[in-house]
Chain A
Amino acid sequence: MKYLSEYRDPHMVKEYIEELNQIVTRQWKIMEVCGGQTHSLVRNGLLEMMPSQIEMIHGPGCPVCVTPLGLIDKAIYLAEQDNVILCSFGDMLRVPGSEKSLLQAKAEGAEVRILYSPLEAVKLAKETPEKEIVFFAVGFETTAPANALSVIHADRLGLKNYSILTAHVLVPPAIEAVMQDEESHIQGFLAAGHVCTIMGMQEYYPLVDKYKIPIVVTGFEPVDLLQGILMLVRQLETGRTELENQYSRVVRENGNPKAIETILQAFEITDREWRGIGTIPESGYQLRENYASYDANRKFDIQQGEVSESEICIAGEILKGIKKPKACSAFGKECTPEHPLGAPMVSSEGACAAYYHFSAITSSESIASK
């Protein structure tokens, strides 16, 4: 496939691995912020191929993983109302709320639909005037333009039965939160290529300056990832701390101005609770006052009980890169993709699920000893 096979070229992969082996002189802890990158690293078997001195730490960049429990409960509560059709990206359906997941609610009779675009939800609202259509708007900056556009579009159409339950989160504040945590010792970041496609690179210069840490905006294919890691290790080995762009075929310095304009038309920045991490100041989007009637949070009187997380789950430490999934006592035992205790086990982009699905090659000996 054009623009894809080139970035999965085994010869280039080999060359980058060889170069990494040549230049690396010591242990480095690198965080890939985005869950899509975690998924690709594991899916392609890259972690095994890289020099052992390079330790990849999987960051909080999986929106499904960091959506707080209370908000999932809200979505479930809304889905269970007779006059509501709750629309969501497929990944959110299996995420456990405090009592059940959206999928279980669906099995019990709630109307839940999987959509690939919020604009489909607007269409549904237009075609189904007797129902309230609520779109569960999760995601980082990447999905924000489409979600914003859905509200702007609904407003233009004069639809009164469309709203979004917003759970938008932002990457730069998450990087700050990781850097400010004394237990995490991250030395360099791969920034998420698709987020920067929208937002550009401007927000990352202050992070590089403030924390004296190299950041490389990186893509998702094996060659992209290895090139990004190589650029980062070159900086680390030579003591440079700069913002570089590996994903230049997609990411522009100023991002996508039209998309940013759309986001800012509908959204404003707000404090946001991150599951497993807690509240990070100015780390999310909420709808502006003039679109308040499209905000499901404000539109519906949502009843909610106490929410509490599993006591054994160490999702927070995993999302901040303090611990690896396998360091959790519940990993693969009480906590599996079928029965996830915490969010990183739910989404295929979550660090725990990625480890569960794709790694863990057992040798004959370890099976025999069981």
Chain B
Amino acid sequence: MTRMSLNCPMPQMNYDIITLGHGSGGLLTNRLLDQMIFDLFSNPILDERHDGAVIQANGPIAFSTDSFVVSPIFFPGGNIGDLAVNGTVNDVAMCGAIPQYISLSFIIEEGLKMTEFWEILLSIKHTCDAAGVQVVTGDTKVVDKGKGDKIFINTTGIGAMHPKANIHIQNVQSGDKIIVSGHVASHGMAIMSVREGLSFETEIESDTAYLNHTIKTLLDEFGTDIHLLRDPTRGGVSTVLTEIAKVRSLGVEIIENNIPILKQVNAACELLGLDPLYVANEGLFVAIVSNDQAESFLHRLRQLEFGEHAAMIGEVVSDHPGQVLLKSAIGGRRVLNMLVGDQLPRIC
């Protein structure tokens, strides 16, 4: 994915930067909303211009919220805008739901360039369209220079549960197979590569992506054979697996050699002494699938959007309950634990 260009012309604004007045609720706020947001995201619910959105819901719904504070706000493979949409869309999808609507809240530090804000808005729009979700409510606040860091975004997503979904950690059984949907550790290392003091010869791109269409197809076809779905963001794959092992009092065994990772990402991890299994992902999911269906699930996933590099990395076992064991590349074993503290701060 390349950084979006400003091919959609920015509305004529009187200011080059966001000022405190743009968050005052007065004239400037209205102008900002009218000219930059309402037009771009126009849909019948948003066009009502209420403080909240009125939506139809039948049956169970999934509901998730997330705040995005990534630094820098533009990074290889994406920006804070598409990250904020993908992150919440994926959280709703991981519940076994089909995300439909999102809210969009900005906390902007005064001084943010209008052109940067517009670029973020465009990529939010682009990602919402691609993921098939609508922005139906939102908010904009502006804080003094130095009291924020350019822009923070909160998104909340809502979606109806897929009728065939039965995603519960309690459904995880001994014998289930563990499948990851693609290369691990790309997002965290992409952010790391643009932090001060580091530069790599090859560019590493974030994997930020909406996974809802892929998840929906898999739920259509595999239904209750999918026991658990998780997106391993902060804390990485390791943290997801550790949680499963602890909560279910089952063991997890994974094979280091089966874990898909891009060559340049692996090299960067080696160089910086980071374990890729603890590095964040933003367009990846871990699926725990019944033993019977695991092979066909993997085969199907590899044909779907963002799933071509999927791999089966291990299984759930009854031995060593509560522990995740990794069979190392050379045939040794080690225990994986949850991450203590942050390996890399502010990556999403």
Specify which of A13, A103, A336 is in contact with B330 (CB 8 Å cutoff): A13
Q: How far is the CB of A354 from chain B (nearest CB, A)?
A: 10
Contacts of A94 in B (CB 8 A): 341
Interface size on A, residues (CB 8 A): 36
Q: How far is the CB of B335 from chain A (nearest CB, A)?
A: 6
Contacts of A357 in B (CB 8 A): 335, 337
Interface size on B, residues (CB 8 A): 29
Stretch from A38-46, A161-169, A276-284, A286-294 that touches the partner? A38-46
CA distance A115 to B196 in the complex (A): 8
Q: Are A14 and B331 in contact (CB under 8 A)?
A: yes
CA distance A67 to B283 in the complex (A): 40
Q: How far is the CB of B16 from chain A (nearest CB, A)?
A: 25
Number of A-B residue pairs with CB-CB distance less than 8 Å in the complex they form:
81
Residues of A176-196 whose CB lies within 8 A of B: none
CA distance A44 to B332 in the complex (A): 6
- Interface readout for B280-322 with A: 1 if CB under 8 Å, 0 if not? 0000000000000000000000000000000000000011111
A98 within 8 A of B: no
| Known A-B contacts A337-B340, A361-B320, A367-B321; A45 and B334 likewise in contact (beta carbons under 8 Å) | yes
- Interface readout for B203-219 with A: 1 if CB under 8 Å, 0 if not? 00000000000000000
- Interface readout for B319-339 with A: 1 if CB under 8 Å, 0 if not? 111110101111111110100
Contacts of B266 in A (CB 8 A): 1
Contacts of B323 in A (CB 8 A): 361-362
Stretch from A3-11, A264-272, A302-310 that touches the partner? A3-11
Contacts of A205 in B (CB 8 A): none
Contacts of B340 in A (CB 8 A): 336-338
Contacts of B325 in A (CB 8 A): 361
CA distance A361 to B323 in the complex (A): 8
CA distance A89 to B69 in the complex (A): 23
| Known A-B contacts A116-B272, A120-B196; A45 and B333 likewise in contact (beta carbons under 8 Å) | yes
A363 within 8 A of B: yes
A222 within 8 A of B: yes
| Known A-B contacts A4-B270, A10-B329, A45-B328; A362 and B320 likewise in contact (beta carbons under 8 Å) | yes
Contacts of A364 in B (CB 8 A): 318-321
B267 within 8 A of A: yes
- Interface readout for A335-370 with B: 1 if CB under 8 Å, 0 if not? 011100000000010000000111111111001000
Main secondary structure of the interface of B (DSSP, over half): loop
Which single residue of chain A is at the shortest CB-CB distance from B196?
A120
CA distance A208 to B304 in the complex (A): 62
CA distance A362 to B341 in the complex (A): 24
Q: How far is the CB of B323 from chain A (nearest CB, A)?
A: 6
B197 within 8 A of A: yes
Q: Are A116 and B332 in contact (CB under 8 A)?
A: no
Q: Are A43 and B334 in contact (CB under 8 A)?
A: yes
Contacts of A116 in B (CB 8 A): 197-198, 272
A311 within 8 A of B: no
Q: Are B328 and A44 in contact (CB under 8 A)?
A: yes
A241 within 8 A of B: no
A250 within 8 A of B: no
Which single residue of chain B is at the shortest CB-CB distance from A368?
B321
Q: How far is the CB of B276 from chain A (nearest CB, A)?
A: 12
Q: Which of A45, A357, A364 has the most CB of B within 10 A?
A: A45
Q: How far is the CB of A15 from chain B (nearest CB, A)?
A: 11
Having A44-B332, A222-B332, A367-B321, one finds 4 other A-B pairs with CB under 8 Å, namely: A1-B267, A8-B329, A103-B341, A362-B322
* Smallest CB-CB A-B distances: 6 pairs: A45-B332, A120-B197, A13-B330, A358-B334, A45-B333, A337-B340
Can you name 9 A-B pairs with beta carbons within 8 Å?
A8-B329, A10-B329, A44-B332, A45-B331, A358-B335, A360-B335, A361-B333, A364-B318, A367-B320
